[in-house]
Homo-oligomer: A and B are copies of this chain.
Amino acid sequence: MKSYHHGNLKQELIDCACKMCERDGYTKLSIRSLAKESNVSQTAPYRHFKTKEDLYAEIAKEGFNKLYKTISKVKSKNIEENLIFLGEEYVAFGVKNANTYDLMFGTAVTDFTKYPHLFQAANQTYHHLLSLFTEYSSNKDSEFISETCIDLWAKMHGLVGLLRKLEVVPSKLLDMPDTPFMALNSINNDLNSYIKKFIRATQ
């Protein structure tokens, strides 16, 4: 039944790669294993991705699109609630899709601008935050707004990075006051109120 030409191999490879990346981490993802899992020859992916970085960029792009979808689900008419929702969803996304998040923000893809689709997907996400905060903020100075957006973003981004350590660390460390894990754990257990706090602090 299987014909020589596949028909939709590129997208299928991307989908498969996304799954594999999230499952095993992008360092374990090899083009060969991807080809095997997709039932094509070892070098078939090279017809669609010139280098491994191209494949990474594709996965990262999908990641940003997924992130955008996630955080742009409007919940209520209250802007502040939406912002808080955005924050929660952002952090949850980063922790849940940790391996993909690595690809999106790490150094595996060095130059974003080499991949217009990726760049546009990433920027779309930023714009959503920007427009939501513009609506929210009483200070309408554009410099203030863009700087505060970076502020919020950095905090969410940093929090993702730190929270992920929680999942690796032995649970007994979560009670040790001499480590950052106790505080991280308590933040993690009530993420909503934590995010509420730092969004309200911007007003």
Residues of A within 8 A of B (CB): 25, 27, 98-99, 102, 105-108, 110-113, 123, 126-127, 142-143, 146-147, 149-151, 153-159, 161-162, 164-165, 168-170, 173, 177-180, 182-184, 186-187, 194, 198, 201
Given the complex of chains A and B, what is the CA–CA distance between A75 and B126 in angstroms? Answer: 37
Copies of the chain in the assembly: 2
Q: Contact: A183 with B110, CB < 8 Å?
A: no
From B150, B159, B182, contact of A183 by CB (8 A): B150
Q: How far is the CB of A153 from chain B (nearest CB, A)?
A: 7
Known: A147-B183, A151-B198, A156-B158. 15 other contacts (CB 8 A): A98-B107, A105-B161, A110-B168, A112-B165, A123-B178, A143-B186, A150-B159, A150-B183, A150-B184, A153-B180, A154-B154, A154-B159, A154-B161, A155-B158, A161-B161
Give the distance in Å from the alpha carbon of A149 to the alpha carbon of B108 in the complex. Answer: 30
10 examples of A-B residue contacts, CB within 8 angstroms: A27-B108, A98-B107, A106-B106, A113-B173, A146-B177, A150-B183, A153-B162, A154-B155, A157-B157, A158-B161
Q: Are A102 and B107 in contact (CB under 8 A)?
A: yes
Provide the residues of chain B in CB contact with A179, threshold 8 Å: 123, 126
A177 proximity list for chain B (CB < 8 A): 142, 146
CB nearest neighbor in B for A130? B180
Q: Which chain B residues lie closer than 8 Å to A143 at the CB level?
A: 183, 186
In the complex, A121→B171 CA distance in Å?
20
Asked if B102 and A150 sit within 8 Å, CB to CB, the answer is no
Distance of A162 Cα from B155 Cα, bound (Å): 10
Q: How far is the CA of A186 from the CA of B184 in the complex (A)?
A: 30
Query: B153 touching A157 by the CB < 8 A rule?
Result: no
**Please, how many angstroms separate the alpha-carbon atoms of A103 and B111 in the complex?**
20
CB contacts (< 8 Å) of A186 on chain B: these are 143, 147
